[in-house]
Every structure is written in C-alpha cells, then in structure tokens.
Amino acid sequence: MAQAPPPAALRPVDLSSFRNEPFTKTGDPEQIALYRAALAGLRRELGREYPNLIGFPAREVRCERKLQSLNPSAPSEVVAIHQEGTPELARDAVAAAERAFESWKRTSFDERADLLQRVAQILRRRKLEFCALMALEVGKTFPEADADAGEAIDFAEYYALLARRLGHPEPLPQLPGERDELLYLPLGVGAVIPPWNFPLAIMAGMAMAAVVAGNTVVLKPSSDSPTIAARFMEVLAEAGLPSGVVQFVTGGGDTVGGTLVEDARVRFISFTGSRAVGLLVNQRAALSQPGQRWIKRTILEMGGKDAILVDADADLDAAAEGVTVSAFNFQGQKCSACSRAVVHEAIYDEFLRKLIERAGKLRLGLAEDPSVNLGPVVSERAYKKILSYIAVGKQEGRLVLGGEPQSSAAQGYFIPPTIFADIAPQARIAQEEIFGPVLAVIRCRDFDHGLEIVNGTEYGLTGAVYTRNAEKWERAKRDFHVGNLYWNRKCTGAMVGAHPFGGFNMSGTDSKAGGPDYLLLFTQAKSVAARL
C-alpha cells in the first residue's frame, strides 16, 4: 500500500505578535492639513458614478435606476451615484461567484494571507482618503473615522495571522498505523451585508474574513455608505485579488439583499444591522430552497441597548466622561453605544450634574470640521426616527439636556446630545434601540438592583461597570450578561485582537469578530485519516 503523505508541517503562528494600528494624532496641525487636502481631493470627484462589478472576471454593470449617496451634513450635496441593482443582477452575481470559487478555493491559506497583508498596506497609505470620505458620506468626525480606518487595517492583519494558523494547524493525536489530519475548507459563496455605521471597518472585516478563508463573496453594501465600499473594491483589486472573487452589487435590502439570502447557491450570510432585519435574514436563510444542498450558516450582529452601571463608590468624574463618550461619540450611532446609564441612588444627583456638564460642552457641526466633536446623524430617515423617540422620552422622563434639532433636515441632520433623567427601567427609551444621541439615566437602589436593570432588555452586546470594588467586578463578570464587558472604562471602542466583539441574546450570534475563533465560522473542518 502506498504511504500516505505526511501532514502539513507545523508552523506555529503567534497571535501575540499582532499590534493594533496606532491612532492618528487628529489634533496635530500637520495631520489636519493632510486631512483637509484629502477632503479637497474628494470634493473634486463629487457626483462620480460607480458601477456594479459582476462576473468572472467581473465587468462593469450599470442599471437604469440609480441611487444617490448624500452628505448628511449638507443633504443637497451628492457624494456619488450608484446603481439600483435588481434581483436578476443579484442572481447573476451569485452565479459568477460560484464560478470563481472553483479556482479561489484552491489557493493556499498563505497566499490569501499575503493578499490581506497587501490590503493592510494599501489601506494604511490611503487612510486619510477614507477618513475624509467617511466624513462626507456618513458624517464621521476625523477621530471617529481614523479609528474606523485603523480597525479595517487591524482586521486585515489579524485575519491574515488567523489564516496562516488555519493553514498550519497543530497536529492531532495519531492513531497507531494512521496519519490523521484536520483540514479547514472554505464553505462556498457567501452574501456579505454590512452596515453603514462602520462603513470601512465592519464592511471590510466581514468581506476579508470570508475571502481569506477561501470563499467567494457577493458584497451588498448599505445604501447609506456605498461609496466607501466601492473604493474598498479598488483596494482589493490593487492588492491583487482576482477579479470576480468579490462581486459588488448595490441596491435595496428587500430586492438585492433578500434575493441573496434566499438563493440556494449561497452557503452563508454574514450580516450586521438591526434586530428586525437580522431576524428576518435568519428566518429566510433557515428555509431550504429547491436544489439547496446545505444548511445555510448565518453570522449575525444585530445591535444592542447597552448600559453602563455606576456604583456608589465609583470615580464620578471618570464615570461621567466614560458615559459621555460612549453615549455620544459618532452621535450614538454605534451598536456598542451606551444608551442607558444605571446609577446608584446615593450618587445619582451628583453624577447627573457632572454628566450634563460634560455632554453640554460637546460641539456639534459639520463632520468634516476637525474642531467639532459630533456631526450629523446619517440620514433623514434616521433623523426622523430619533426625533420621534425624543418625543417619547419627553413623556417618559425629565429632559435635562438637548432635545431639539439645531437645524431643519434640509440643512443637515443635526441632533444635539440629549439626556433624559428619571427613566423607568421598562420605559420605551430604556428598552428599544434608538441608534442616536439619546441617553436614558435610570436610578438603582444598589449594585444587585443595577445588575437586574442592565440585564432587563432583550439585548446583550456591551456594557461597563464603574466601581472601585473588585468583588463587585467579579460579580459583574459572572452576572452582567453581555458579550463585551468593561471595568472602569467606556463600553465602546473594542480593539481587534484584545476585545473579540459580538453579543448575546438578540444582539446576534456572538460571532466574536476580531477574535481567534472568527475564521472558523467561514470554514468547514474535514477529518482525514490515512491507513499506513
């Protein structure tokens, strides 16, 4: 009998070698000048039309109907024009991705990891361009956009390390007379449906994780941030990704997105967005279609109603700062944003005073202005939704800051930091995800009561505890039911590698993006035993 080939040589990959991309000094005059130059360059391209990219190799496809991407700081300004894709185009993209998979799946993990490292280098070189584009397309300030771009770079480099580890796994225990291996194979064609609020980091991270695992992708970006995704397609091409491995289709969630989710040839769906849409994706993906040969895998991140618990012995200055940053940075439009502050009654009034003072100093203005703290919310739809919740809040509690838009929607979607005090734990603004700069402050009797309140929603994404008591922190580690928990710091700003990100309950499938197990979600393990 022929001798079986030996398993792949072990080449341990040290994940501790990973280092996060440094933050840009966004207050430095030299960096501000470079950022303004990037803005000026983009302004010369305003109104540019971007095609869909469909086929193997991909070809430019334009549609009769168009989508406009608008600047939320100045809605009369058209950032770019995109195609309103159709179900037929979505199906064409799946067919092309299926053809591309036959060759892409045969590339090695090391080859694909090399690609991601080239992506990281290009993103680093084009970082300020993407920061400026995030200001224009979704209203991110310079520091927020810099963190977003840095996270995209981190995803590329970290997932490259994970891919090398999967390509050179630790050996299995060997049965006598056998050579035993565990191989990690790609799944097939995936639908990647990212959100607008981290339009580079989450979009790129979702797509790169699928691709580096050996899958092909149909990327349907949010209609609020298609230009950033289109420019990322340029990065992939420059890095050497074969044309057609990622298909690019813009269009509506019900038309393009729904078609992708239900297509029998799609093996997995990676989705980040609202609870309502995520549950619909999960439901539709669970229904087997004619000709379907697998159970579709869903990787879902669906938001939160995140809380910071401030105990009686907390450093109140640090807590007020942490809540302010967590609640209002990027206008509260983060799934990790603090939308509930649960505060011990003994320090409630003092904490509230400090919170109002800090939040009241935040400067609201054009997102591209490096001197402002907060920009607009992303769209007129979001603007109207948030104002409707503010109206509810005025009935449910005591308005202590903000509450009124500073301009009409036609002039920009600007809503100031808004704080409601004396909110009941079961009030609507304490239970429903608002996704805007609205904070509910809730009184608790003691630490146990505080834990009861923070766990009293259907979500479980992020949370934080401010206390000097280490025993209470140990309690929170066990009993504060969220996927990402922090002690004496803000509940936003998860860093790739150090803070694998994903939540419990209705916050999603706890997929832990940026963590050591994430790529396993995009592979299937095959056990191979050869008799010697």
CATH assignment of the domain containing 279: 3.40.605.10
One-letter amino acid at 125 equals: R
**Are residues 485 and 519 both part of a single domain?**
no
- CA neighbor of 239 nearest in space, from 117, 57, 157, 107: 117
Q: Could you tell me the pLDDT band of residue 12, with boundaries at 50, 70 and 90?
A: low
268 DSSP β-pair partners = 190, 297
**Are residues 101 and 158 both part of a single domain?**
yes
pLDDT tens track for 393-412: 999 999 999 999 977 878 99
Q: Catalytic: 474?
A: no
Could you give the CA distance from residue 161 to residue 50 in angstroms, rounded to a whole number?
A: 33
Q: Catalytic: 301?
A: yes
Could you give the CA distance from residue 174 to residue 125 in angstroms, rounded to a whole number?
A: 47
Answer whether residue 459 is part of any domain.
Answer: yes
Which string of DSSP letters, residue by residue, matches 163-195? HHHHHSPPPPPPPTTEEEEEEEEE--EEEEE--
Tokens of 44: 């010369």
Answer whether residue 12 is part of any domain.
Answer: no
One-letter amino acid at 123 equals: L
**Are residues 343 and 418 both part of a single domain?**
yes
pLDDT, average across residues 323-344: 98
pLDDT tens track for 29-78: 999 999 999 999 999 999 999 999 999 999 999 999 999 999 999 999 99
Domain count for the chain: 2
* pLDDT above 60: residue 322: yes
Residue 516: cis peptide before it, omega within 30 degrees of 0: no
Phi-psi region of 524 (alpha: psi -120 to 50; beta: other; left: phi over 0): beta
**Are residues 263 and 352 both part of a single domain?**
no
**Are residues 420 and 364 both part of a single domain?**
yes
Answer whether residue 53 is part of any domain.
Answer: yes
Answer whether residue 107 is part of any domain.
Answer: yes
Residue written as tokens 């939160």? 304
pLDDT tens track for 213-271: 999 999 999 999 999 999 999 999 999 999 999 999 999 999 999 999 999 999 999 99
Could you give the CA distance from residue 383 to residue 497 in angstroms, rounded to a whole number?
A: 34
Q: How many CB atoms lie within 10 A of CB 345?
A: 13
Pure H helices in 14-81: 29-43
Exactly one of 137, 301, 368, 433 is catalytic; name it: 301
pLDDT, average across residues 267-278: 97
- CA neighbor of 260 nearest in space, from 112, 98, 99: 98
**Are residues 333 and 267 both part of a single domain?**
no
Q: Are 415 and 377 in contact (CB under 8 A)?
A: yes
Which string of DSSP letters, residue by residue, matches 80-141? EEEE---HHHHHHHHHHHHHHHHHHTTS-HHHHHHHHHHHHHHHHHTHHHHHHHHHHHH---
Answer whether residue 500 is part of any domain.
Answer: no
**Are residues 45 and 85 both part of a single domain?**
yes
530 DSSP β-pair partners = 179
Answer whether residue 23 is part of any domain.
Answer: no
**Are residues 414 and 440 both part of a single domain?**
yes
One-letter amino acid at 208 equals: M
* pLDDT above 90: residue 471: yes
Instruction: Count the residues in the chain.
Output: 532
Give the CATH number, domain containing residue 358.
Answer: 3.40.309.10
Q: Are 143 and 26 in contact (CB under 8 A)?
A: yes
**Are residues 333 and 320 both part of a single domain?**
yes
What percent of the chain stands above pLDDT 70? 98
Exactly one of 335, 338, 444, 491 is catalytic; name it: 335
Residue written as tokens 């289709």? 249
**Are residues 312 and 289 both part of a single domain?**
no
What percent of the chain stands above pLDDT 90? 95
Whole-prediction pTM value? 0.96
Host domain of residue 350: 306-495
Tokens of 441: 């402050």
Answer whether residue 427 is part of any domain.
Answer: yes
**Are residues 139 and 263 both part of a single domain?**
yes
**Are residues 246 and 298 both part of a single domain?**
yes
Answer whether residue 6 is part of any domain.
Answer: no
